[in-house]
Structure 1
């Protein structure tokens, strides 16, 4: 069964883009959330790029009292010592991101020129999907997040993306996803051999200017390969 193509905000930095960034928002937000970041990038440093900001489906979220909101998966527990994410929701969202990758292929952009990016819950889906994707991607941006379903990665990981660059960043005072929890995911991925760059910043569950500048440099590097 073909996954639904999610509605999305799209921004092109030039005609006939040669690269794409599929950027996933966090819990309760939507595809407009990270539009302003593009204005902060120096367009001259990046190739013509299509930024795709999909809107997550709406679903009840257990830790928010079952309130229906845009979410990539249900969060069933606030306890970081147990599995928090609903596996069925993670797999559903991963299939929807795969459909967006396939659409970029149809538009002429190969997997090797596509970056998966995401913040918080969106970053978790970006990591999950990219590390299992069957063809080499340009890179993965995972911001203020963690690796979901970590116990299944060894069995499900794609050899094609075993050496794909990963950029993980986190706020030192993040009250939503503790920095140490995100760092533990980064350490796990490094131990598994993934080429991962880790950064932390004096902020909470957000982005800061220094981080945006680092993202621009990292994107310019992986898009030039």
Structure 2
């Protein structure tokens, strides 16, 4: 087994070129999904000035077990996944797009990975869009992190009950990121299946619109 299974995963692109984009959106797919799947969200939240970047996970999963499983049971995949997101962030930064003009987001497992990445790599981002996800770690464990998110706008949206993501973890994640200085909006959708709703896409679209209004 590779110690870095996601290292060579292809990064798919949509929208403006990296060289001409005024901002970037990193989108992370869910378990069993693909980079092409998650880029369909880019079409729903399209801004012609932005480049949308979607890395492909090895075996279509970022880590093998639930995000609520003991962290060691998801290694080395989880650490590799976080490094992969960092490499995509570095790709955008190297092209001249600073962190404060980069949004990170995803659905389900990708939303968990997005949230964990921003919490463990704190700074000012253009935004975080977590569609059915939260910080990684067993229920009842300490998921607090240290660092300043400096007003980063964050959107959490999730159904309740959800078969994979308990609303309690979404709330807890929202509180942790708020304590780190993010400006958090969380929306609970009673009885909504494990999917992305039009309202959530509208929240995401507005976050991008506001984040890049002055660019």
- Give the TM interval when normalised to the shorter protein: 0.7 to 0.9
How far residue 128 of structure 1 moved from its aligned partner, in angstroms, is 1.3
Matches within 5 A, 1:1-225: 4=7, 6-13=9-16, 16-41=20-45, 43=46, 46=47, 48-58=49-59, 70-75=60-65, 83=70, 86-133=74-121, 135-149=123-137, 151=142, 153-154=144-145, 157-159=146-148, 161-191=149-179, 193-202=181-190, 203-224=192-213
How far residue 105 of structure 1 moved from its aligned partner, in angstroms, is 1.3
> Structure 1 210/122 Cα, relative in aligned 2: closer, same or farther at 3 Å?
same
The ranges of structure 1 where at least 4 consecutive aligned residues each deviate by more than 4 angstroms after the TM superposition are none
Preserved CA contact (<8 Å) 1:177 1:205: no
Equivalent position SS for 1:117: strand
- Unmatched runs of 5 consecutive residues or more in structure 2: none
Preserved CA contact (<8 Å) 2:153 2:207: no
How far residue 5 of structure 1 moved from its aligned partner, in angstroms, is 5.1
Length, aligned pairs only: 205
Preserved CA contact (<8 Å) 1:18 1:47: no
- Unmatched runs of 5 consecutive residues or more in structure 1: 59-69
Query: Could you tell which deviates more after superposition, 179-188 or 27-36?
Result: 179-188
In 1, distance between residues paired with 2:174 and 2:123? 22
How far residue 109 of structure 1 moved from its aligned partner, in angstroms, is 1.1
Equivalent position SS for 1:126: helix
How far residue 34 of structure 1 moved from its aligned partner, in angstroms, is 2.1
TM-score using structure 2 length = 0.81
In 2, distance between residues paired with 1:47 and 1:195? 25
> Structure 1 162/153 Cα, relative in aligned 2: closer, same or farther at 3 Å?
farther
Equivalent position SS for 1:22: strand
In 1, distance between residues paired with 2:184 and 2:8? 30
In 2, distance between residues paired with 1:110 and 1:194? 18
> Structure 1 135/182 Cα, relative in aligned 2: closer, same or farther at 3 Å?
closer
Equivalent position SS for 1:74: coil
